[in-house]
Each structure stands twice: as C-alpha cells, then as structure tokens.
Structure 1
Amino acid sequence: MRELESRILGHDERLRGRAAPEQAPPRRPSGTVTFGIAQVAHSASGWATHRAAAAPMARLDQLVRAAADRHGGHVFATDDESVGVAFHRADDAAAWAARLQRAAAGERRPDGAEPGVRIGLHSGESEEVATGYVGAAVDMAARIAAAGHGGQTLASGATAGLLDRSDLHDLGWFCLDGAPGDQRIVQIGAGEYAPIRLTGIRRGHLPLRVGRLIGRDGDLRAASDALARSSVVTLVGPGGIGKTQLALAAARTAAAGHGWDGWLIELAEIASSADVPRAVADVLGVAQRPGHTLTQSIVAVLRSRPALLLIDNCEHVIDGAAELVQAIVAGCSQVRVLATARERLAVTGEQVLVVGPLDPAAGAELFHARALAADRTYDARAHHRYVEEICRRLDGIPLAVELAAARTISHRPVDLVARLDDRLRVTGGRRTGAARHRTLRAAVQWSYDLLTPAERTLFQRLSVFNAPFDLSAAEAVADEQDVDDLLGDLVERSMVTVAFGPFGRRFRLLETMRQFAAEHLREHGHTDLAAGRHARWCLREVTHIHRLLTGPSEIEGVARLGDLWANLRAAVTWACAAADPRLADALVRPVVTELPLRGAAGDRRLGRAHPGHDAGGGPGKPGCACLLARLDRRAPHPERQPGGLPPRGGPVRRTGPAAEPLCASVRIRRRRGPAAVPAGRRGRSTPPG
C-alpha cells in the first residue's frame, strides 16, 4: 500500500488540473487511475434469473454510461452483473458513484424491488490492454464492491486519501482476499447498512501488551482520565522513565473504553520536523491530495473518524510534532492525541502529565520480575534487602532497574550494590528495543544531544551538587547570565527535576543524570572550576546557617543545615583533595558543634577530618580526603523529629563516646584561636574566623 500511495503522489499533471465535470476527456485515463465497479446487488436471485432482466440491465448500463459521460469516466467493461468505469480523478469517480446511486434508486427490478447497486472505488496503477484495463487495481475495486450492500458506495484507503469530501465514514481495516496486508475501507455518503462482507477487521495498530505494567496504576488512571477530558495529553519525563509503556497501556484502555481506533506513530527514527507528517501518513495510510499539503490530507482523512493517535518520542522533532498535532485537534473533533516527549508540546488544550520514578516497593517488584525472567533460580526473598538498595540508588528509573535485574545472571544483587558507584556501567545493556533504550547511557545521551550548547554547559556544572539546590546556587556555579531561563529549559526537557519544600523551589539531578553530567564536566576540564565555585557557595550558606543557629532562628538553622549537609560534605571533600585546608576549615568551622548530632560514627570521621586535625597525612593531605569520603551520608539528626526539627524539651546533651568528636573539634578550635563554646550547649557553633 505504501508503494501504491507513493505512486499516487507522483501522478501525472492531469491530477493537478480539474477538468470541467460535464466534459469527457479526449482519451481514456492512464497512469494512476481511479476505477469504479458498479454491481447489481443480489443479481443471481433477482435480475439474472429472469428473461426480462435484459431490459433492466440495459437500463442500468444506460445509467452508468450517462453518469460516466457527465463526470469524465471511460466505460471499459460490462457484463450481466457489473460495469467498470475508469476516471482520471478520484473526485470525479466519487461524483459518478453518487449520481449513479441516485438514478438507480428510482429503477425497479422485475420482482418490484429496487435494483440496489453497490459500488467499489480504488485508485492504482493502470494496466491497459486493447479492450480496456486489467490487473490488481481493477480486481481490488471489484472486491470492494462485492463487500458492500445495495445502495452503498465503498472506497479503498488509497482512493479516500485523494478525495476532497466531508462525507467519508471510516469503517476500519479489513483483509481482502488477494490483497497485500490489511486495507482501509471507507463509505462514501450517508446511510445505515449491515456490516460489510469482509473478515479480519482491525481497529488500529496498537501493539499487544507484553507483560504487566508494574507500579503505574495511579499514573494509568490519571492518563486515562486526562484523555477523556483533553484532546491532547503529553506524558513528559526523562529517558528510561517508562513513558512509552505507560502511554501504550493508557491508549489501549482509552481506545477500548471509547470505541476509538488506536494508532501508534513512532518518531524516534525520523531526523527532521519536516518528516513528521509523512511518518503519520504512512501509518494511517494517507496519500497526499492534489492541491493540498500532506498535513491537510491527514486532517481531511481523520475529520470524521473517532481515533486515538499515540505519537511516541516527539522530543527531537518537537516543532514538527507540535505543528501537526495542533492541526489535527483543530480540524478533527473526534480525534485524541497522546504524545510522549521529554518536554511539553505547548499546543492549545494540552494536558501535561509528568511521569516520575517508581516508588521503592514498585521498583523492587519490577526488579524481582525481570530477574526471575532471566534466571528461574532467582530467590527474591533472599535478595530483597539488596534489591531495595539497588532501586533506591538507581532513582527508581524503570529502564535502569530492568537493565540491572538482567545482570543477575552473572552478578548477585549484593555484588551489584558494591558496583553502583558507576550506575551507567553497572546496568549493562540489552540487545532488543530501540537503540536509545538498550543502555542507560544511551537513554541519557539521547536527551543530552538535544540540548543547546548553553544548556549542556549548565547541565555539566550542576553535577557538582550532591543534593537539591536553589536558583542562587545554580547561578553561583554557572557562567551564563540567564541561568533562570536555562534552568527552566532543563526542567522542561526532563534533565532536571523540581520540587517545592519548606525553603521554596529546589532543583535536583537524578543520580544517573548527575554522573553523566560529571563525566562530561571532566572531559571538558572544568571539574575544579565548578567544584571551587560550589565550595564557595557552600561557605556562604554555612555562614548564614551559623547566624541562624546562634540567634533566635535556631530551628530554621538546624533544618537548613540538614538541607545543605550533602553538598557541604562534598565541598569539604573537594577542599581537602585540592590541598586547600583554609577553605576546608572555613567550611566546617561555622557548624562544628553540630557535627556530633549527625551520627556518632560519621561525625567522628568529620571531626578527625577537620583540617586542623592530623588525619594521617597532615592538613590538606590525602588522609584527610580519605576520611571525608567515609563520612556518614545520613543528614537527619537521630534524635530529631521528621522534617529536621529538634524534639521538644530543651537542649540535647550527650555524654560518653558520642560526645568525643565535638570535644576533639573544640580542642582544635582552641588551639587555632578563640571563640570556642562549651560542648553542652547544642545549637551554638563557633563563629566563623
């Protein structure tokens, strides 16, 4: 069919001009021709069995020829049951069929019944012989006519794509004997008829579901509800988050519930926005109409057709996808569009749904299911603790979880946990699926390649943040002046996530994204530049937190320190590794009395790693950095309530081994200068020097 449609597009110049409908062409049609076959319905039981049938058949032949003469048709075949007519233009063939149906409606069979003419139209390459036409196109028109009922005119998808009419009624896709693949059939004109006599109907081209969609019940309901309310729904999220599988499940549910034809249009393999209409037309079986753009032809075909288009992977051709979707929803009231992209389409009436990571329980369930599929001896219960840690550190990204689970053939989950410092390597790859989804790195690279140079630079710089950060933090590490706009673009493109907390808007890179960005930052030789800026931003933050802790806003200071903790730890680590003991000292000093309250073991390490303490290598030596690298990552105080607030009932006082790091730190401060404070006064840290 696609080859046939491409030939239709290359039809000779006669398709471009519109001959006067009342004038016959000087010669019979050639090249791409629209064939019309008119058959007498139930001829064997009505007309053909009566001797008197010759007169009515002669009358029908007269009607066919008269209508053909008025619409530029060439009668090339006639027998006792049917008449064949060839036309230069599909619109002329449709007009001929309508005139013939009106004329035949007034004729009577010998038994008093209406003759009931059924007509089939099909457009294709002509095969001319001396007596007329033969070949597949003629046979197709005859088969289509035979599938109809008296008074009904049917047309193939090839012909429908060439018609400029508003009375086309899509009947679906059918299997015709001798025809390659399924064929789209439309009815021309109004009228209620019994189902056409063809088998193998297919309502759309949505792939069958393979396996269960895990952890997306709420998202599936949200997408289905959105499709019921909005003409355009776009699922956005980073690569590997599971947009396509969620969209397919939502499309199946919505199509079945509303009786829509469902179609999957995959855009990943096209390279230009200009190719989007062709990708859609190829799937729908639409040929470009003479004098119309391909987009206009698609809209014309869909105008009277209840359908759901699932357009997958729009991000790299976002402008072309948005333009086509806008045209479809503006001209086709019965069509819904479900799109997936890494940013919104920004079209009228669009409902955007952000697809987030799986929660820990769903992530573990997905891991167990995929691991069991790879290895039937896999014991989910024995490995569950390690699997939860794997899913947590993979940020709940379904693609990453599935790829990691596939490695259980050669690695136990406990071994995978030990290797997760490099998430882009430990997840491995797979042989099937789109190339961008065979490895986690490929999924991220696909998104990264779509960024502008300025967006890539900022994305790389943001990799120095080990925890959520605000706009001022991003500005502190960036070169660009319009950081707010660039950061917004990265959020739009699903490269950076955003959330709102007690201190306002916070941005974050998923750990997979952060590692990928850090690799590119190193490749460009800008790691130390960005890390130095990050450390100086942390210094400003801890100085502010110190003022809060030593004033009436102590509770806010405690909460802000918890918010900063991971970034502070990274900054001190870099300062030690960079042999900058003054910076490391300045970072720790304002909050030194808070350290023991962040976990005895971890804070003992930080106390020893304080640049004023000899950590096995002297200030600024590798021993300091090694100790810092082992710092406990737990930010919340063990004795504080959720949310970073201290328990009621007064200051926290500690005795015994847990208090030792604080005492050690205070002794350090006393050796380096004044302003040490008693260890028993929680919340009072030494002032910055």
Structure 2
Amino acid sequence: MSNAGLRQRLTAILAADVAGYTRLMAADAGATVAALDEARAVFRSQIEAHRGRVVDMVGDSVLALFESAGGALNAALAVQKALEAASAAMPEGRRMRVRIGVHLGDVIEKADGTVYGHGVNVAARLQAKAWPGGLCLSQTLYDSVKDELPAGARFGGRQRLKNIEEAVPVWHIVPEGAAGLPHYGADALDAAPNNLPLQLTSFIGREGELADVTRLLTESRLLTLLGAGGIGKSRLSLEAATQVMDDFEDGVWFVELAALRDARLVPQAVASVMGVKEAAGRPVSEALVRHVKDRRTLLVLDNCEHLLAGCAELARSLLQAGPHAKVLASSREPLRVAGETTYAVPTLPENEALRLFVDRAAKARPGFRVNGEASAAASICRRLDGIPLAIELAAARVRALSVKAIDARLDDRFRLLIHGDQSALPRQQTLRALIDWSYELLTEEERSVFRRLAVFAGGFTAEAAEDVLEQVTQLVEKSLVVLDASGERYRLLDTVRQYAQERLEESPDSDAAHEHHLQFYLGLAEKARPELAGPKQGEWLSRLDLERENLLAAHAWCDRAPRGAEHGLTLAYLLRPYWLNRGLLGLGYRFTEEALNRSGAATRNFARSRGLFVAGQFACFMGRYAQAQRLLEESLLIAREIDDRRRVAAALQPLGVAHVGQGDLPMARRYLDEAVSLAKEGGEQREIAAAGNARAQLYRVEGDLEQAEELYTRVLALMRELQDRESIAIVLLNLAMVAIGRRAGERARAMLLEVLAIAGEIGSRYVGQSLFEVSAGLAALGADWPRVARFYGAAEALAAQTGIRRDPGDEVFLAPLIAAGQGALGTAAFIAAEHGGRALPFEQA
C-alpha cells in the first residue's frame, strides 16, 4: 500500500539495546562510550553485509530492516558473536552485551526512511525479553527461518509484551561464542517469575486507566482498584501487572479469592500461589513475611470484597515486612489499610464499549459485522452503562438474535443476559448473579436502603437521601452507588437500578419509598417556583435540569399515590415555567394533560382551574389557539364558580391571546382589558406586568406602536424591580420589535445585546428562539438579507425542537420582513441561506 509518501510492507525488523547500559555508564562512562562506538560499528557492518538498512542508532539502541528474515537472523547472530569475542578479555562486570529482538511484520515506511507500525513495536518488546548476549524471535520470524537456526533455540512460551494486545509466542537463542553466559534455564527467560494467566480475549480500550494504574503503582505500595461487579477490575489489574512485570524481579503473583469463604484462609491461598511453606507449628503468614522481606514482589489480590479483614491484615503484614513488596488489590470496597491508594475503575466510554461489543460479537458469530445496526449496538452499550461484563454477555447473544432484537429486549435484561463464559466464576456467568453477589454481602439495613434508592431516576442529592445518608455512604464504599466527580450527586448505574427496582417491588416498603420520593420532589418544585422568576433563576433552572427524570418519576407515581390527583396538578403548575424556559412545551403539555385526566382530578376546584390554565397557556405557545380557547374558557368558568378573582385574571390573559390568534380582536380586547383591570385591583406587580404585556401585544397587532411602547416600558420597569431575568428579556424583545418598526436600529441593537447576555446566563431556549426572530428583523432594517435568512432559519430550527410558535404580534412583525428578504434575494438564494442557519448549533447561530 502506498499513500502520500508512505509505504506499507512486510519486512524483517531487528531491534537492539545494551543490557545494563546505565550501570556501565555509572561505573566508567569513558570506556562505555568507546565500547558503544565499537558496537555500533559492528552493527553497521553486519547489517549492511546481510542486505539490511540501519534505520536508527540513538543512544544505546539500534533499529534495522532487512530484505529477508534469514538476513536479519544471521546479522543478529554475527553481531552477538563479534561482540562476545571483542569483550572476552574484559572482567565479567564490564563486558558490554546487547539484547536483540527480531520480528517479521508490517511496517509503514516514509519517504525519508523513518519507519512506524505494529511490527516495530513488537520487535522492540521482543528485544526487552532477550537474554543479555542473546536473541528473542517472534513465532512469525521463527517459522520463516527455522531450517536455518543453530542448535539450542528454545521455545519461550506465549509472552505478554508491553502495549501489545495479544500474547506473542517467542523463541530464545544463545549464539555461538556466548559460553560465558550464566546457566540458561527456563526460568531465566522470563522477565520475572509469575503466574499471570494468559487471556483468551483481547484487551479493548482502557489506555488512560492502564496508564493511571501503572503510574499509581510506582507511587504507592498498596493500590486497590474499586468498582461494581463486571466493571473490569480484574482484567485491568492483570494488564497492569503485565505492564510492570519488569519492575519486580522476584515475581508477580496473582491470587484469585472469589471461591474462598473464610477470611482466615487468605494467607494459605497466597502461600500456595507463591510456593511458600510454613514452618511446623507456625502460622503461614510468618513464612510469607520472611519470604517477601527482601524481595521485589508484586502480589495481585483479586476479589477481596467478601474477605476484607483477611486481605487487609495480610497486606499490612507484607508491606511492613520489607520495603520492596507491593500489593495490587481489586475489590468493591477499600481494604482500609494505612497508606492505601484507591482507584475507582470507570465504566467504558461509548466508543470503547462499542469496540468491545463488536469484538466479542465477532468471536461469538464469526463473520459478524455491525453494518446497519450500529445505532442499536451503541444503544445496547449505553443502556448497559458501559459495564464490560454486561456488554460481553449481550454480545454473546448475537448467535441467536440480531443486534436490534437484543436492544429491544434489554428492558428484561436479567432474563436476556444469562449465558456467559461457562469457565468463568458462577457469579460472572449471568448479569443477575453478578449483582446478587454484591447484594448478598450487604447488611440487612444496607439492603433496605439500596432497594429504596431505586425510586430515584437520574441520580439524587445528599438532601434527597438525608435520612439514610450514612447507609448511602456505605453503598458508595461498596461500589453499588456512584458519587459523581463534583461530590454533590449520587446515582445507581441503570443496570444496578433495574436490579434494585425488582428487589423493591418484591419488598413491603415499595409504596412508602415511592411516596417519600414524591413528597421530596413536590417540596423541591415548591421551593423552585418562586426562584424561577427571580435573580437566582439560572441556578434553579440548572438544578431542575438535573432532577428532570425524578420529577417525571414523581409525576408517574401520582397515578398510584393516595392524593395523586391533587399532587399531580400541583406539580404541573409548579413546573410550568421550567418546561417553557427549556423549550420542552410538548413534554410540559403532556405532563399537564395527564395530570388533568388522572382519576380524581375532574373535581371543579382551584387545582383543576389552575391546571387547565397551564395546559391552555402551553396550547397558546404552540399555536393551537382553538384548543387553548377551550381549555382556558373552562379554567375561567371554574374560577368564576369558586369566585377566585386572581385565577380569573390569570386565565383572561392567554385567553385574549388565543382570540388574537384566531383573528377575533374585539373579543381579545374585551378579555385583555378585563385582565388588566383585575390585575390592578389585586395589586400584585407580577400579574399587573403580565396583563400589561399581553395588552401591549394587542396594541402591536393593531399597529398602535406608540401605545404598545408606552405600556411595554412600564412593564419593563416592573420586571426590573422583580429581577425576573427571563421576563425582562421578553419585554426587551417586544420593545426591540417596536424600535425596529420605528426604524430605530441602534436602540433595538442595544436591547438585543442585553437579551443575548440574559439568554446566555439562564439558558432559555424560549428567549433564544425569539432573539433569532427579532435579530432577523434588525438585519432586515439594514437590508442584510443573507443574515435575515440565516437568523430566520436558526429560529425555525429551534421552533421545530421546542414546539413554540410565534404569537400573533410577532408574526405581524416578522412575516412582511421575510417576504421582503425572499423578494430581494430570490427564493432559491433565500432558502439556501435559511438552510445554513438551520444547520448551525443553537450556541453558534
């Protein structure tokens, strides 16, 4: 393959470096540099003699490419023979010996001769496995030259190479002339004694986590990887142990503790793996302490959560025994030993989760391709929270189901994901067994709290769980509850929450938990409502954003709650400004409609009148004026029946707008004049301002800009006193339209800049949409027709998302300007510019 000066080809690669170079330089730098120059000359001579090319010689390393595998092998043998002969007269401790790795693989070669690629990486890692004065060959190179090999080539097994996913079979050679080398036993060929199991599947992603863990192992003597079951703690610990193996010359030992039931037997399990025998009549822990005292050893304790006391006691003893031993543990909660560093293993990000799914699916069904089911595969990974074991269980189902069918069945995931690796631990063979294991380790009090936390959707704050916060903290420690990075919000992974929900429904405290949840979020909405029209508006809108799923869950529970009809209508009213600000009119309308239709909500009382007002106002904003009229007339009628003049005044405002929308201006004028009169009679500034704004809209529709401006100005003053940021922005937009109508462009521009600042501060999509529309009008005033089209397109795109339609006054303002733009640019050019505006993200438009 060739591309832009790059050439990919199969070639033999030789990588070498000097063994003990740092030690040699410290002992005699001058002699070492001289010997290195001689060694480089030998390398260059033999590489060229065997039809090779030196790619790089930096420091004590050499990299070369060869036309043939035989040429690379013979050059390496010749180099080792020559260097061995040249240093024969030197003391053993001063002899310069090199390690050489040789591989046959693909490289990418640039026009300037530099090379990259997987093949180069493998050769470099093989070099690190070679014995000083020896060669380490990959299986692919060995297969090409085995008929040419000297006697004494030995198979080194499948070796884990740093940063190489799959284990690589290797061969070792002691060249002729290396008779001075120590005994070449099988144990000497390993970087360190170890029992790390070779993995049967590739390690996907986790580059950042692997780097974090290996770094922390250099800084801490006890590192515990924490996380929920199936999150990948064990696999990450094995990969990390493989990476750091060269740092532990006395061994890396993996101890699987899942099958152990007695914490007192932890020392025996470790001793068995390390080959340590206890003295007669003495505890085995004493023998372990003596064994690790002066050794550089890494002990990997896997699955400690059910044996915490035993693991903690042993870890403390071993770390106190000597300065060089280290422990890497995996657990669902910390060991709580002095000096322990903990690392929370995260779930897989979506891209890595998808790679894992595709890889495991391909192994389950050879020839598998995700093709047109990529979105379903991504959905599976997302719904399974990026938990590796859950994703692997799902991927195994492709033997019998399509990816879309697996995704569709995940609502019943504990029945679906039941056939895992039969050689794995029983608790890792099904998704339910995985969480059962954690659940059974909890105290009864912790189990009760865990079940009750299932009522929270999308997470919760400490305030929401204040009465059980101590137990929540314990569940965080046990990796069943996740605390977010800010330290302010807790959540259950969706898979864990579904399990907790099943347990909750089986328990007698289900109704009480849901009722407690409803009361908390009803109280939160009551606190939020006045703040949504004040100086802390942005802060409270953001808070409700985080609690949206909980608010919807509380609404759903109203179907079963003892006073559900009353609470549902109250929630609908309290959340009205939130749905509007966030441009979620469709959701807000459905929420309110469901509350109105709920059993027990038909009683003609204050709550129903207010609920009908909310639904009618949403219908007005969505341009459904006839529907809004029906809802608002019923709200008005109930308000008159119960003689609530404040509710009468509130219903009259949107009812007048609904009549304007249907072209009935006389009736609109009648309703709006009455609304203004009743608001003044009530004396509430907010109601006076709201009624005045609606009446000014009618003036604008009628073309009376002077009256409109005067009334808008009074309303703006009231809203500034109330510090209602969103309402200030809305009135400024109305005044800006009046200013544009009077061709006062600079006044309009100043107002729009203030609106822009407010929109950014509170994140109101409702204000943002109107800002685009009025900005189009300002651009039209300057005959900047492409900008008119772009702003109009941005507004229309946002309207499609929010469901908000221009009210009659705004339509009267904008429609003729858009028509003028289409006439000036031509329809095709205007549409093209409009589409450009539609394509821009909200923040960039």
TM-score bracket relative to the smaller structure: 0.5 to 0.7
Task: Work out which of the residue numbers 565, 568, 573 in structure 2 matches 1:581.
Answer: 565
Q: How far, CA to CA, are the matches of 2:626 and 2:478 in structure 1?
A: 48
Match for residue 519 of structure 2 among 536, 540, 551: 536
Q: Any conservation in 1 of the 2:481–2:493 contact (CA below 8 Å)? A: yes
More helix by share: 2
* SS of corresponding position for 1:334: coil
| 1:384 maps onto 2:374 in alignment | yes
The answer for the alignment partner of 1:491 in structure 2 is: 476
What are the Cα deviations for residues 129-159 of structure 1, in whole angstroms up to 9, with x where unaligned? xxxxxxxxxxxxxxxxxxxxxxxxxxxxxxx
Give 2:548's aligned residue. Answer: 565
CA distance, structure 2, for counterparts of residue 662 and residue 372 of structure 1: 55
1:451 maps to which of 431, 439, 442: 442
1:595 aligns with 2:579: yes
Name the CA distance, whole Å, in 1 between partners of 2:632 and 2:317: 70
For each residue in 1:430-486, what CA deviation from the matched residue of structure 2 results, as whole angstroms up to 9, or x when unmatched?
A: 1231111111111111111111111111111110001111112113xxxxx5x2321
SS in 1 for 2:253: strand
- For 2:246 and 2:627, how far apart are their aligned partners in 1? 65
In the TM superposition, what are the counterparts of 1:544-555 in structure 2 within 5 Å? 544-555=527-538
Describe the shift of the 1:264–1:323 C-alpha distance in structure 2 as closer, same or farther (beyond 3 A).
same
Whether the 8 Å contact between 2:576 and 2:588 is mirrored in structure 1 is: no
| Mapped partners of 1:620, 1:311: distance in 2 | 63
Deviation at 1:377, TM superposition (A): 3.4
Q: CA deviation at 1:283?
A: 0.8
SS in 1 for 2:261: coil
User: Cα distance, 1:422 vs. partner?
Assistant: 2.5
Counterpart amino acid of residue 239 in structure 1: G
Q: Secondary structure at the match of 1:462?
A: helix
Query: What is the CA–CA distance in structure 1 between the aligned matches of 2:454 and 2:627, rounded to whole Å?
Result: 31
The answer to whether the 8 Å contact 1:576/1:620 transfers is no
Identity among equivalent pairs (%)? 33
Does 1:412 pair with 2:402? yes
1:303 Cα offset (Å): 1.3
Structure 1: unaligned runs, 5 residues or longer: 1-173, 176-192, 476-480, 622-651, 685-689
Q: 2:463 matched to 1:472?
A: yes
Question: How far apart are the structure 2 equivalents of 1:222 and 1:664?
Answer: 63
Counterparts of residues 338-487 of structure 1 (less than 5 Å) = 338-430=328-420, 431-475=422-466, 483-487=468-472
Aligned counterparts of 1:470 and 1:289: Cα–Cα separation in 2: 54
1:215 to partner: Cα distance: 2.1
- What are the within-5 Å matches in structure 2 for residues 172-321 of structure 1? 195-196=182-183, 198-199=185-186, 203-290=193-280, 292-321=282-311
CA distance in 1, matches of 2:566, 2:535: 29
Given the alignment of the two structures, is residue 520 of structure 1 paired with residue 509 of structure 2, yes or no?
no
Quick check: 1:390–1:417 contact (8 Å CA) kept in 2? Answer: yes
- Counterparts of residues 318-329 of structure 1 (less than 5 Å): 318-329=308-319
Residues 661 and 484 of structure 1: CA distance in aligned 2, closer, same or farther (over 3 Å): farther
Distance in 2 between residues matched to 1:665 and 1:379, nearest whole Å? 53
Give distance in 1, aligned partners of 2:459 and 2:629: 31
Taking the aligned partners of 2:632 and 2:292, their CA distance within structure 1 comes to 76
* Equivalent residue number for residue 751 of structure 2: none
Deviations 1:28-80 (A, max 9, x none): xxxxxxxxxxxxxxxxxxxxxxxxxxxxxxxxxxxxxxxxxxxxxxxxxxxxx
2:569·2:592 contact (CA, 8 Å) conserved in 1? no
Task: Please give the alpha-carbon distance, in whole angstroms, between the structure 2 residues aligned to 1:414 and 1:620.
Answer: 42
- Structure 1 pair 573–665 and aligned structure 2 pair: CA distance change class (3 A): farther
Q: Is the 8 A contact 1:593 1:662 kept in 2?
A: no
- d(CA) in 1 for partners of 2:250, 2:584: 58
Q: One-letter code of the match for 1:587? A: L
Q: 1:661 to 1:227 in 2, by over 3 A?
A: farther
2:298 is paired with a residue of what secondary structure?
strand
Pairing partner for 2:323 from 320, 328, 333: 333
Most deviating of 284-293 and 247-256: 284-293
The alpha-carbon distance between structure 1 residues 298 and 489, as it changes in their structure 2 partners (threshold 3 A), is same
Q: CA deviation at 1:322?
A: 0.4
- CA positional deviation for 1:345: 1.0
Residue 508, structure 1, aligned to residue 499, structure 2: no
Letter of the structure 2 residue corresponding to residue 471 of structure 1: A
Comparing 334-343 and 377-386, the one that deviates more? 377-386
Whole-Å Cα distance in 1 between the matches of residues 362 and 346 of structure 2?
25
Compared CA separation, residues 258 and 280, structure 1 to 2 (3 A):
closer
Question: How many angstroms does 1:258 deviate by?
Answer: 4.8
The higher-RCO structure (CA 8 Å, 6+ apart) is 1
How far the C-alpha of 1:578 sits from its partner, in A, is 3.8
Q: Deviations over 1:276-314 (max 9, x none)?
A: 111111111111124532111101011122111111000
The whole-number CA distance in structure 1 between the counterparts of 2:408 and 2:532 is 38
Deviation at 1:662, TM superposition (A): 8.2
Query: What code does the residue aligned with 2:584 have?
Result: G
Alignment partner of 1:401: what SS?
helix
The structure with the greater share of residues assigned to strand is 1
1:668 is displaced (CA, Å) by 6.8
Matched position secondary structure for 2:405: helix
Contact 1:607 1:664 in 2 (8 A): no
Which one-letter code corresponds to 2:473 in the other structure?
G
Whether contact under 8 Å (2:241, 2:252) holds in the other structure is yes
- 2:558 alignment partner, SS class: helix
TM-score (norm 1): 0.61
